[in-house]
Chain A
């Protein structure tokens, strides 16, 4: 049994498991942090961005005038943003039989795999994962396509040139494999290969292996997977949460007695407690509005935003924010808000029971009804006529490189009354803000990551007791900046097997038994287990 690790990002995994003659891809995460190296794509012409000076090397030998721009001491690529894809050279991806998707964050690289590698298999995902994943992809395509950029920068990727560039461009890896966003056609084609599954539904793969999704408690329809044969069991734990937020709670007991547990998707912010962050979010928001400023919340169009809106629903009155407008701007805002209300069976018990009252499970319906929350597909159109300040705007993309957020950064960045509150943990907020410097607006970093923390995962592993644990190498040592925090790493006996991008691990699997069917022609019809 082998594990091929195609992604080095612990929360956007892409691994391939070869198990009993089947080849199973576990998630298909797209590392979007690469876009931080690019200049933002403004929705309307930005004089500031267009006037940025080109970068020239100190000795003047490198002058990529059209490709590299300099802003506040950092160098950015002036081109359509590109993404870092999962490793394609480690194994022949056309041999993949199935792809198991854990949650909508971990499927964003799907079109790159299914459409350009000769993939002929099936993708398994839950219904909300597919629906919201499609929204995310649509949004991404929309963000890119509505601000087309003819120029495609490639010269800077030349190894000789890249070596001469200042960091972090210099240190970027595999830049040649970076790709532009896919098209909507590719999205549709990729998603047509998805077959829907429900929690605990068992899917047979060629009679050799059975796979089954379990609720992971992280997001709508998010799952962990059990992959088992008659005598072996592999658990794949991706983004999971034990917090009581909107999704169905995590199914822990089914993970018991695994021979191998592949652990990915732990919290990216182990020191930031989600409750504390939510509190910070609310108090900073109220503080800004009271002072007459606007609040910008760069966020994804699904997930934590539901919890933020729910929290604000309770907080608005106590903080006297009843008259402040809340805007949610995204090409998929309407669909996201509506879909969240119809996936009742995938919600936590409290929300499920509301459906029978009947009441919408999420209180953002009431916010919309009372005109406190308004949603728009983009800043163009109705929004511009109804826009009122001071206000709170939720919009994407959290990287601040594309989407409507770019416009608000340009609009509000110069005033210290305004605040940008980062709630998504995927991007370093300092890197995200780099092309907007100098910036007068206040920045608050409240990353809300509800995924398992080290304390929770240690407890979980003690309970489910897998024989072996495989995890990204980042989990086996304390974070670089906090080397004294031994509580921020996995300490297990036996120690977990670490992996990194391009690792190929031989999983420590001792297959003691194999089920063999003996045909009636050769015996009297009995079958038995034979020791191999």
Chain B
């Protein structure tokens, strides 16, 4: 433990023990507990490291005037300390445990009423119950009964904690031999502590008995206790080993059956959870019977949820799966009139009640949505279990979609009252579209592709489709396109309709719709399809024709909404990637797009399109550089390099930090391209993995400096000069002094990589080779340039002092317009390694340390005792 923290802890304990003091914020005590937990998990003894804690616990417990929050904290702290046998013994010897967990003491002090204290009591005990001595203490102190009472506490948090605690006691102390047991190790029994086993048995018996007696509600309205018990049973049965499982089932089996028979709606799902937990951990006749009963309950809405829960659980036998499938398909069968259940639907005795239920809007929507959500899984069940071919399920979903949009009816038994509930219902439409998307991978799906396209195009064309429905329709269309193997099934008529509807939607009034459409166009070009007659090509060409996409996207670059502009840029990049990769010459249209993009980068007021522009050039550069040398004189390559220069200079001067990071990514590509042939150069992507979130904490190991012992290959100097000329160096240096950490971090890493590659001499040596020293970079006299010059001058004067050299001769003095610096020299003098150390730490690393927490508590207390002084809290 940090010595400084240890020295502060007694003061903190004193503060906490003083009822009059206030804490900096509500989370302080939680953070303190987290810190203690961390220390224990690291293997330290809390009491040895912080002996003051013992006194603190004793003091607080005896002072009933303490704040309930601090008391709760103390109970939980005591639990933590006594979680080890040594800690337990120490507290036991000083009689602290009896005092801390003495229920009567808290009740008499009137503090038990506070849920905060009750939860502290439960959690303290739970932390403590990690060894047999603790169990003995628990049993001897007769804590079981109060704990069982707390299971139905008025506070939901207390009740839930009590449930967790009961489950912990039963599961943790299960006999070792039980498979799945995570309880005490075998050592306990070897030690001859058989009395623990006896105590455990007694606990099991008591709890089981309690469960049995309380499971079935005494009055119809009092479901709370039953609900809690069912939750506990589900927890237990999911993890219990066979003896405990059998014992529990033996005791509560009758009550469970009684509950299933009673069929209370509120309890259906928790009851199903219990039955499924029992069923998953092993089958016996009783459990199977319970499951069968659950899948035959009378209330359609409950039944469908039970069936869905069963199917979701995964471990299914054919008989029950077949039953669950029938239950789930019935509403769809009724509404669409598709014979999903075969002709023998009379076997489904509850069909009439399902139809009745479907006539009311809320249950109808709910049942249909549950049914739809499960259709993809149903379609994948073995054919022996499925009452119809999987393809019929797709037909039914399509039919439902048509009914929902009001365009068709079915010839089913479903009355018009049912249609009324689903026509135009967005929720059902979305669920059905999601189901249709997932059903694309079900057996035989391909034969439906034409119908699927027809319905989806109808949805895209429907003026009443809301933006989410349209988005989902596009997603479904993409998914079905990606799995399509025979595009001859998509007729020319459908293709024409699709082109027309896409053209229309690109002009939609709602920007969300325009955005979805533009995104769709981009994704569609990304879907590579193989045709029977032709080679592999992108699906956009097949469905929309070769020339349709780019003009639409080009138009969208002018959109008034920034998201749409950004999506259009991204889609254009996807659309053109293929031609870039093939090295095709730029068309007039593409050249116009490029100038428009540069215009967006320099003029657009929103960040999203500007980010997208830089990414566009990253894609272009990546696709192009794979087959064309940088120096290629082709018009395409020369335009690209011209643009890259422009993007680097504009992107690094952008106000948006993400634009700047993307610009540095482009710079990184240029570095990779230029120096990849040099021995020892590590490509940026190999060198260090950027954190998934740029503002996230990065471990220090993420970046290890490369030390390469290789020699320079010829041409490094000219390569370096090229990179400088392209503006890479300026982008990196401006990034280095950027106020946004992710930008500075990225730039710093790239500069270190560059230094490692071009500066062969060990750090700190000034004897750069003459040739390398000639490559210089011009820094502007303002902004980032000024800052870099300042750093360099400071470093130079430091070095001058150290080496007793008056001044650097090889660096020219700053003129009015800035300064030219040797690149190598700058790379050495900028203190990149120290900067990297600072930048890799999370921006809140100082404020999150335990030391800071302890200091905060002390400061808050000091402020409280000196009321004249106002504390200024830095909210940032």
**A273 and B464 in contact (CB under 8 A), knowing A279-B510, A486-B417?**
yes
Stretch of B139-147, B555-563, B737-745, B811-819 that contacts chain A: B555-563
Given A276-B463, A290-B555, check contact A319 B507 (CB 8 Å).
Answer: yes
CB <8 Å contact, A283 and B419: no
Chain A neighbourhood of B417, CB < 8 A: 486
Q: Does B523 contact A (CB under 8 A)?
A: no
Q: Is A119 an interface residue (CB 8 A)?
A: no
Q: How far is the CB of A162 from chain B (nearest CB, A)?
A: 36
B contact residues around A315 at 8 Å (CB): 509
Nearest-CB distance from B606 to chain A (Å)? 14
Closest Cβ of chain A to B49, distance in Å, is 66
Complexed CA–CA distance, A286 and B504 (Å): 8
Considering the complex, give the chain B residue whose CB is closest to the CB of A270. Answer: B406
Tell whether, in the assembled complex, residue A277 and residue B463 are in contact, meaning their CB atoms are under 8 Å apart. Answer: yes
The interface residues of chain B lying within 8 Å CB-to-CB of A487 are 416, 419-420, 423
Shortest B360–chain A CB gap in Å is: 15
User: Taking the complex as formed, is B409 at the interface, i.e. its CB lies under 8 A from any CB of chain A?
Assistant: yes
Which listed residue (A273, A278, A482, A485) contacts B509, Cβ 8 A? A278
A56: interface (CB < 8 Å): no
Enumerate chain A residues within 8 angstroms of B682, measured Cβ to Cβ: none
Query: Are B507's CB and A271's CB within 8 A?
Result: no
> Contact between A279 and B463 (Cβ–Cβ < 8 Å)?
yes
Q: Is the CB of A282 within 8 A of B507?
A: yes
Q: Which parts of A277-303 form the interface with B (CB within 8 Å)?
A: 277-280, 282-284, 286-287, 290
A272:B416 contact, CB within 8 angstroms: no
B505 at the binding interface (Cβ < 8 Å): yes
Docked-complex contact A279 and B419, CB < 8 angstroms = no
Residue B508 interfacial (CB < 8 Å)? yes
A484 within 8 A of B: yes
Contacting B507 at CB < 8 Å: which of A273, A277, A283, A311?
A283
Interface centre among A280, A283, A485 (most CB of B within 10 A): A283
Across the interface, B420 reaches (CB within 8 A) one of A286, A290, A483, A486, namely: A486
B544 to chain A, nearest CB (A): 15
CA distance A271 to B404 in the complex (A): 12
Q: Is A318 an interface residue when CB atoms closer than 8 A count as contact? A: yes
Binary contact track B479-511/A, C-beta < 8 Å → 1, others 0: 000000000000000000000000111111111
Q: Is B406 touching A485 in the complex (CB atoms < 8 A)? A: yes
Please indicate the chain A residues that have their CB under 8 angstroms from the CB of B511 in the complex.
318
Within 8 Å CB of B558, what residues of A? Answer: 320
- Kindly provide the distance from the CB of B436 to the nearest chain A CB, expressed in whole angstroms: 22
Interface residue SS majority, chain B: loop
What per-residue 1/0 map shows which CB atoms of B386-425 lie under 8 Å from chain A?
Answer: 0000000000000000000010010000001101100100
Contact of A317 (CB < 8 Å), options: B505, B506, B555, B560:
B560
With a 10 A CB-CB cut-off, give which of A315, A317, A486 has the most chain B CB atoms.
A486
Say yes or no: B419 contacts A484, CB within 8 Å: yes
Q: Which residue of A lies closest to B552 (CB)?
A: A290
A283-B560 contact in complex given A273-B463, A484-B419, A487-B419, C-beta closer than 8 Å: no
Q: Mark B502-535, 1 if CB is under 8 A from A, else 0.
A: 0111111111000000000000000000000000
Q: Which residues of B contact A482 (CB under 8 A)?
A: 406
Q: Which residues of A contact B406 (CB under 8 A)?
A: 271, 482, 485
Residue of B nearest to A315 (CB): B509
A446 CB within 8 Å of chain B = yes
Residues of B within 8 A of A271 (CB): 406
Q: Is the CB of A287 within 8 A of B503?
A: yes
The verdict on A446 contacting B507 (CB below 8 Å), with A318-B559, A486-B419 known, is no
Most chain-A CB neighbours within 10 Å: which of B409, B419, B503, B555?
B503
Nearest chain A CB to B388's CB is how many angstroms away? 24
Q: Is the CB of B507 within 8 A of A286?
A: yes
In the assembly, what is the distance between CA of A315 and CA of B503, in Å? Answer: 17
| A272:B463 contact, CB within 8 angstroms | yes
Residue of A nearest to B559 (CB): A318
User: Which residues of the partner chain B approach A277 to less than 8 Å between Cβ atoms?
Assistant: 463
Given A283-B504, A485-B406: A446 in contact with B463 (beta carbons within 8 A): yes
Contacts A317-B560, A485-B406 given; indicate if A282 touches B419 (C-beta within 8 A). no
Asked whether, in the complex, the Cβ of A287 is within 8 Å of the Cβ of B419, the reply is no
B463 in contact with A484 (CB, 8 Å): no
Partner pick for B409 among A273, A280, A283, A484, CB 8 A cutoff: A484
Known: A486-B416, A486-B420, A487-B420. A279 touches B508 (CB 8 A): yes
Minimum CB–CB distance from A258 to chain B (whole Å) comes to 27
Taken together as a complex, chains A and B put the C-alpha atoms of A483 and B417 apart, in Å, by 13
Q: Which of A287, A311, A318 contacts B504 (CB 8 A)?
A: A287
The interface residues of chain A lying within 8 Å CB-to-CB of B419 are 484-487
Contact with A along B449-489 (1 / 0, CB 8 A): 00000000000001110000000000000000000000000
- Complex formed: what's the CA distance from A317 to B561 in Å? 11
Distance (whole angstroms) from the CB of A250 to the closest CB of chain B: 23
> Which residues in B have their C-beta under 8 angstroms from that of A284?
504, 507
Q: In whole Å, how far is A74's beta carbon from the nearest beta carbon of chain B?
A: 26
Specify the chain B residue showing the minimal Cβ separation from A290.
B555
A271-B406, A317-B560, A485-B406 known; A282+B423 contact, CB < 8 A: no
- CA of A286 to CA of B513 in the docked complex: distance in angstroms? 15
Chain A residues near B464: list those with CB within 8 A.
273, 276
**CB nearest neighbor in A for B561:** A318
Query: A271-B406, A284-B504, A287-B503 are known contacts. Are A279 and B509 too (CB-CB below 8 A)?
Result: yes
Report A-chain residues with C-beta under 8 Å of the C-beta of B504. Answer: 280, 283-284, 287
CB distance from A458 to the nearest CB of B (A): 11
Could you give, for residues 536-564 of chain B, a 1 whenever the CB lies within 8 Å of some chain A CB and a 0 otherwise? 00000000000000000001001111000
Known: A485-B419, A486-B420. A290 touches B507 (CB 8 A): yes
Contact status A283-B505, CB under 8 Å: yes
The smallest beta-carbon distance between A447 and chain B, in angstroms, is 11
Residues of B within 8 A of A272 (CB): 463
Q: Give, as a whole number of angstroms, the nearest-CB distance from A426 to chain B.
A: 19
**Pair B423/A485 contact, Cβ less than 8 Å:** yes
Q: How far is the CA of A320 from the CA of B506 in the complex (A)?
A: 12
Question: Can you name the residue of chain B whose Cβ is closest to the Cβ of A287?
Answer: B507
Nearest B residue to A289 via CB reads B507
The smallest beta-carbon distance between A76 and chain B, in angstroms, is 31
A320 proximity list for chain B (CB < 8 A): 555, 558
Collect the chain B residues with CB atoms within 8 Å of residue A483's CB.
409
Residue of A nearest to B421 (CB): A487
CB proximity of A385 to chain B, nearest CB, Å: 31
* Alpha-carbon gap, A278 to B464, bound state (A): 10
Please, which residue of chain A has its CB at the minimum distance from the CB of B409? A484
The chain A residue with its CB closest to the CB of B403 is: A484
CB distance from B151 to the nearest CB of A (A): 47
User: Scoring A residues 74 to 98 as 1 if CB is less than 8 Å from chain B, else 0, what string do you get?
Assistant: 0000000000000000000000000
Residue pair B509, A282 in contact (C-beta under 8 Å)? yes
Which residue of chain B has its CB nearest to the CB of A478?
B416
Chain A residues near B420 (CB, 8 Å)?
486-487
Contact bitstring A456-476, B, C-beta under 8 A = 1, else 0: 000000000000000000000
Chain B residues, Cβ within 8 Å of A317: 560
B residues near A273, Cβ cutoff 8 Å? 463-464
Please, which residue of chain A has its CB at the minimum distance from the CB of B418? A486
- A279 surroundings in chain B (CB, below 8 A): 463, 508-510
Asked whether, in the complex, the Cβ of B416 is within 8 Å of the Cβ of A484, the reply is: yes
Closest A residue to B415 by beta carbon equals A486
CA distance A283 to B558 in the complex (A): 15
13 A-B pairs with C-beta separation under 8 A = A273-B463, A279-B510, A280-B504, A283-B507, A284-B507, A290-B555, A311-B509, A318-B559, A318-B561, A483-B409, A485-B406, A485-B419, A487-B416
Interface residues of A (CB under 8 A from B): 271-273, 276-280, 282-284, 286-287, 290, 311, 315, 317-320, 446, 482-487
Given A483-B409, A486-B420, 4 more pairs with CB closer than 8 A: A278-B509, A282-B509, A446-B463, A485-B409
Closest 5 CB pairs of A and B: A484-B409, A276-B463, A486-B416, A318-B560, A286-B507
B interface vs A, CB < 8 Å?
Answer: 406, 409, 416-417, 419-420, 423, 462-464, 503-511, 555, 558-561
